[in-house]
């Protein structure tokens, strides 16, 4: 009996690591950012359902996971951020953000700022459909922007996901004083 059980246990040990998590989930670079990544992943999985039916969100799940797991990308933020764009023409500048997109364009940007970044936060909130709110001692910025054509219904749905999920996480983010 013991000889039959050993191969079964070994096979189970090799199979378990492959079953441990959803491959769409971005992994946090450290435990101090874990709750922020849980929040981002919660949003990402909800938006993944819309990715199937909205060309503006093509490759959203793949691209945002890569962005969240990129040390270079996350080094741009004091706490952390999530960014996605589709159909943005980066070869030209434009005064109006909408003029920088090809057909089916979209930009989604979320950032947690600390009080140290208050001036940056104030400069970007309320610009190009961006919004800012205070939560658990952080300044949270988010932007949902579609272009060519503008899809106000999609923008409202995405903003609703972001806002509702943020309220779900209220009280769970670590104090900025203890973040580091």
What digits encode the pLDDT tens for the residues 64-109? 999 999 999 999 999 999 999 999 988 877 678 888 899 999 999 9
* Tokens describing residue 47: 């938006």
pLDDT of amino acid 179: 67
R_g of the chain, CA atoms, integer Å: 19
List, for residues 7-37, the tens digit of each pLDDT value.
544 444 444 444 458 899 999 998 989 999 9
Q: Is the dihedral of CA 98, 165, 175, 38 positive or negative?
A: negative
Q: Which residue has the higher pLDDT, 6 or 48?
A: 48
Sheet of strand 101-113: strand arrangement: 80-88, 101-113, 138-147, 130-135
Instruction: Identify whether the C-beta of residue 107 lies closer than 8 Å to the C-beta of residue 100.
Output: no
Please provide the average confidence, as pLDDT, over all residues in the chain: 88
* Joined tokens for residue 140: 């949270």
Residues of the chain with pLDDT > 90, as a percent, come to 70
85 forms bridges with which residues in the sheet?
107
The pLDDT value given to residue 98: 83
pLDDT at 84: 98
> Residue 9 has what pLDDT?
45
pLDDT digits (tens, 9 = 90+) for 88-98: 988 877 678 88
Average pLDDT value for residue range 150-154: 95
- 106: nearest Cα among 155, 157, 161: 155
For residue 139, is pLDDT > 90?
A: yes
E strands in 28-164: 80-88, 101-113, 130-135, 138-147
């Amino acid at each position: 009996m013991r000889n039959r059980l050993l191969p079964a246990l070994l096979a189970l040990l090799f199979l378990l690591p492959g079953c441990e998590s959803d491959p769409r989930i971005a992994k946090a670079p450290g435990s101090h950012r874990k709750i922020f990544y849980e929040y981002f992943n919660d949003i990402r999985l909800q938006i993944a359902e819309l990715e199937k039916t909205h060309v503006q969100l093509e490759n959203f799940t793949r691209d945002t996971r890569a962005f969240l797991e990129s040390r270079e990308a996350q080094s741009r933020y004091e706490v952390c951020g999530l960014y996605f764009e589709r159909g943005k023409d980066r070869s030209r500048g434009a005064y109006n953000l909408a003029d920088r997109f090809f057909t089916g364009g979209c930009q989604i940007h979320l950032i947690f700022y600390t009080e140290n970044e208050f001036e940056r936060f104030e400069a970007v909130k309320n610009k190009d459909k961006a919004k800012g709110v205070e939560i658990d001692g952080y300044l949270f910025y988010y932007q949902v922007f579609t272009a060519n054509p503008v899809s106000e219904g999609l923008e409202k749905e995405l903003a609703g996901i972001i806002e509702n999920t943020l309220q779900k996480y209220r009280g769970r983010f670590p104090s900025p004083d203890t973040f580091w």
